[in-house]
Structures are given as C-alpha cells and as structure tokens.
Amino acid sequence: MHIGTIVQKLWGDRRGALAMITAISMPVIIGGAGLAADTIQWSYTKRAMQRQADSGALAGAFALSQSQQNTVAATVTADLSRNNNVAMTIAPVIQTPPTAGAFSGDTRAVRVALATDLRLPFVAFLMQRAIRIPAEATAKVVSQGEYCVLSLENTNVTGINMGGNTNVDLGCGMMSNSPSAVSVTAGGSSRINATPVAAVGGVPAAPSNYAAGTQLIPYSVPQFDPLANLPSPNLAGVANRNGGNVGPNQHSILDPGVYRGGMDLKGQVELRPGIYYIDGGSFSAGSQATVSGTGVVIILTHHSAESSPGLIAHVSINGGATINLTAPTSGTYAGVVFYQDRRALDQGDNKINGNSASRYQGTFYFPGQHVEFTGTSGQDVRCVQIVTRRVTFIGNSHITNVCPPGSGAGSFSGTRVKLVA
C-alpha cells in the first residue's frame, strides 16, 4: 500500500485526522513548553540577581554614608554572600566611584554589576551554549535636610528629649542615632520649630508640640559624627594657670591654659582668646556670674583621661548666670565653644543654662555624655551646632538659633541612602 493511500485513509477517518494534527502540532507544543520553562527560569534568575545587586549597592552606599570608604568593597562582598540566591560565574564588579553609567565619577555613589552564565535546558539544546544574564544597581548617599542638633546615642534609649515649657526655635533640623521606638520625643508644653526631625528609630507624632510643616523622618540611616576628626585633648606643653576660682563681686581676666581641678566662676570673668583646658572637676558658673569671651574654646578633659575617663571634667552653668561666649573662627577648634573629651564615660549630666542676657555662638560637642539645656526665657544661642550623646531641652528654656552667613558652627547636611539606577 502506497504512503499516499495510507494518508488519505487516515485523513478520511476522524481519529486518524486527530492523530495527524496532534503529530504535526507536537513540535510546536513541546517547543512552546520548553521556551516557557526557560523564560520562567530566566525571569526568576534575573529578579534574584537584581535583588542581590540592589542590596549590595545599598550596603556599600550605607558604608560610604558612615565615612567608611575603605570598607565599601568588603561590605558589598559580604552582603552578596549573605544574599547568594544565585551563584555567579562571573566575578562581581564593585565600584566607588562608578566608572560607567549615569553616575560615573560620582564619589558618593556605589555601583554593583553582576553576571552569570546560565544553561537553560531548551535554549541550550538549540544553541549549545549558556545564556549570560546581567544585573546592575547603583546606590548613592544623598542629602536629607540641614541639621544643627545631633544625638550620637546608639543604644535603645531616647536621644533627644524636649519637655516642660521649653521653646526651641532652631531654624534647622534635629537627628537622633538612637534605634529606640522613641528616639526623639516632644511633650509637655514644649514648642519645637525645627525641621526635619529625623531618627534611626521612631519619632512619635506630637502635633501640639511641633510647628506646622515640621517634617518627621523616622527610621533613617545613622548620621556620621561631623566632628569625629577633632583630636583628643593633649595637655603636654600647655601652661598651667591659676585663678580659676573667682568669688562673688570679684573681677578677673583669665588667660588660656590648663586649669587643674576646674573653674568655679561666681563673679565677673573675662576670658582672653584661646583654648582653656579644664583638667578634671567642672567648668562651673554660679547664678551671679558674668562670663564673656571671644575666640574661646572650653575643653573638658583630664590629664589621665586614657586610664581614668571617669575623672574627665563636665560643665555646670546656673540658670541665673550671664554667659557670652563665641568660638574661634580659625585653628583646630574653629567653630567649637565647648568640647568634652570623647573618652568621657556616660555618667552624670552637663548643664548649659543661662539667663535672657546669655549669648552662645559655636559648637557644643559632648560625644560621650548627656547635655541638658534649662535656660530661662529668651536665652539666645545665636548660632550653634549641638552634637552630644543625648540632649534634653526642658524647663523654661527658650532657645533661638540664628546663623548669619559664615558665623559660628552653623548646620551640617544630613544624609540618606537610595537606589538611583
């Protein structure tokens, strides 16, 4: 029987026709199924790789935001290892700054490029080779507001606390590095005019305390200490001074140098320009004290700070005191009016108060301890930056922060990390 006759008989039979159609269609069906399976595998791999690239770029940018540029590559590599859902056959490319793409040359960006060769069953049957799948991401450290108050606290306690009848008018933002759910809190009859108010942890809403339009930004990245590069105090070769105790109704003009055991100021005191090292004890101003100085920085330390950090000096300024201090505009401590040795233990409080005639201009830098502002109505901090472990604004303090261009410490730019490509 000829083949043509067989085909004619099959075609004339319903069951035979169906068998022929099925036979003719089978390669298409098998090919479609194979292609669909390969597409699903390709899509899954591509998505998984993109997640790895995104996560790695964000991790690298986070390290960059903490001024750890030399650890970016190691940080990205560790993140890729943790998220190793797809094995890479090609070594990852980690760049900061990137050398390709829209952010090429940007020193605040991190680029991660991944690639792997994947053998897809159906495509490999046709092409006899693996398919290369790429994924790329770029993350960048971008600005997020201007801040002049920063709490460096990194444990689960409140970093910035505002209460009582305090009135804080900063003209810039506040930031707390504390991961606490109440990282920043405003309560009582306090009135806060500062934006943004950001934190690594939570920032509970308080509409009656924050001025209209205040931007609350919880769960931000930690901000790097803007004064981390200041050297630790060194008393070697610095002249020792006497006269650090000034009684009521006394008038003294003091020179820069080392004041062992602290300063106890209760009368009228003029500080000549320079650096005043308070070697243990405290920098204390009584309720009747009048203290003034231009180009002055007060450094709170101890000659045995390395071995006895508990002896590092602190500050205590009574609310009735009249204080008029302006930081130097040049030198190592330019813009700094108070600096407590960063080796100080987290114990005790530093009280920065003053009456309505008090004027401060410069940075309050207390990286290891708590600072409390409890000034009286109208206290003028003029132009300050407050960087402390924790800070409290309470009582009847009324702080107005006004920064003329080029004066004082001013504010510093906050940062956040985001994917940009």
Q: How far is CA 339 from the centre of its chain?
A: 20
Across residues 6-15, what is the average pLDDT?
Answer: 55
Q: For 295, how many CA atoms within 13 A lie in the half-sphere containing its CB? A: 8
Question: Is the C-alpha dihedral spanning 234, 345, 389, 139 positive or negative?
Answer: positive
Q: How confident is the model at residue 122 (pLDDT cuts 50, 70, 90)?
A: low
**pLDDT tens readout for residues 28-68:** 555 555 555 657 777 888 899 999 999 999 999 989 888 77
Pick the range with the lowest mean pLDDT from 5-19, 87-101, 368-382.
5-19
Pick the range with the lowest mean pLDDT from 91-105, 123-137, 208-222.
123-137
Q: How confident is the model at residue 160 (pLDDT cuts 50, 70, 90)?
A: very high
Question: Between helices 14-65 and 3-12, what is the axis angle to 10°?
Answer: 80
Helical (H) or strand (E) element with 138: strand 131-151
pLDDT at 334 over 80: yes
Q: Which residues pair with 162 in a beta bridge?
A: 186, 393
Distance between CA atoms of residues 163 and 299, nearest Å:
28
Q: How confident is the model at residue 364 (pLDDT cuts 50, 70, 90)?
A: very high
- Contact present, 231 and 249 (Cβ < 8 Å): no
Q: What is the mean pLDDT of the chain?
A: 86
- Contact present, 399 and 168 (Cβ < 8 Å): yes
Pick the range with the lowest mean pLDDT from 119-128, 193-202, 295-304.
119-128
The two three-digit tokens of residue 99, written as one number: 């050398």
**pLDDT tens readout for residues 182-191:** 999 999 999 9
Of residues 202 and 193, more confidence is placed in 202
Helix (H, G, I), strand (E, B) or coil at 250: coil
CB atoms within 10 A of CB 299: 25
Q: How far is CA 360 from the centre of its chain?
A: 26
- Contact present, 333 and 341 (Cβ < 8 Å): no
- In this predicted structure, what is the pLDDT of residue 159? 97
Closest residue by Cα to residue 171 from 382, 414, 29 = 382
How far apart are the two ends of the chain, measured CA to CA in Å? Answer: 69
Closest residue by Cα to residue 164 from 186, 144, 131, 179 = 186
Closest residue by Cα to residue 311 from 340, 279, 285, 338 = 279
Helix (H, G, I), strand (E, B) or coil at 19: helix
Query: How, if at all, do strands 412-419 and 131-151 pair?
Result: antiparallel
CA dihedral 30, 35, 36, 37 (to 10 degrees): 90
Helical (H) or strand (E) element with 144: strand 131-151
pLDDT at 21 over 70: no
Of residues 61 and 129, more confidence is placed in 61
**pLDDT tens readout for residues 229-262:** 999 999 999 999 998 999 998 999 999 999 999 9
Pick the range with the lowest mean pLDDT from 5-19, 102-116, 367-381.
5-19
Q: How confident is the model at residue 171 (pLDDT cuts 50, 70, 90)?
A: confident
- In this predicted structure, what is the pLDDT of residue 404? 59
Across residues 196-219, what is the average pLDDT?
Answer: 93
- In this predicted structure, what is the pLDDT of residue 333? 94
Across residues 297-303, what is the average pLDDT?
Answer: 97
Pick the range with the lowest mean pLDDT from 106-110, 299-303, 367-371, 379-383.
379-383
Query: How, if at all, do strands 109-118 and 131-151 pair?
Result: antiparallel
The two three-digit tokens of residue 105, written as one number: 């040359």
pLDDT at 166 over 90: no
User: What whole-number percentage of the chain has pLDDT above 90?
Assistant: 56
pLDDT at 271 over 70: yes
Of residues 324 and 2, more confidence is placed in 324
- Contact present, 339 and 283 (Cβ < 8 Å): no
Of residues 16 and 53, more confidence is placed in 53
- Contact present, 355 and 362 (Cβ < 8 Å): no
Pick the range with the lowest mean pLDDT from 18-22, 53-57, 275-279, 292-296.
18-22
Question: Is the C-alpha dihedral spanning 281, 389, 215, 411 positive or negative?
Answer: positive
CB atoms within 10 A of CB 263: 24
- Contact present, 154 and 179 (Cβ < 8 Å): yes
Query: How, if at all, do strands 197-199 and 245-246 pair?
Result: unpaired
- Contact present, 327 and 297 (Cβ < 8 Å): yes
Q: Where are the domains of the chain?
A: 3-129, 145-415
User: What whole-number percentage of the chain has pLDDT above 70?
Assistant: 83
Closest residue by Cα to residue 336 from 315, 364, 312 = 364
- Backbone φ, ψ for residue 146 (5° rounding): -110, 130
Q: For 14, how many CA atoms within 13 A lie in the half-sphere containing its CB? A: 0
Across residues 313-340, what is the average pLDDT?
Answer: 92
pLDDT at 106 over 90: yes
Distance between CA atoms of residues 178 and 66, nearest Å:
15
- In this predicted structure, what is the pLDDT of residue 231? 94
The two three-digit tokens of residue 302, written as one number: 């101890």
Across residues 279-307, what is the average pLDDT?
Answer: 95
- In this predicted structure, what is the pLDDT of residue 415? 82
pLDDT at 164 over 90: no
Distance between CA atoms of residues 64 and 141, nearest Å:
7
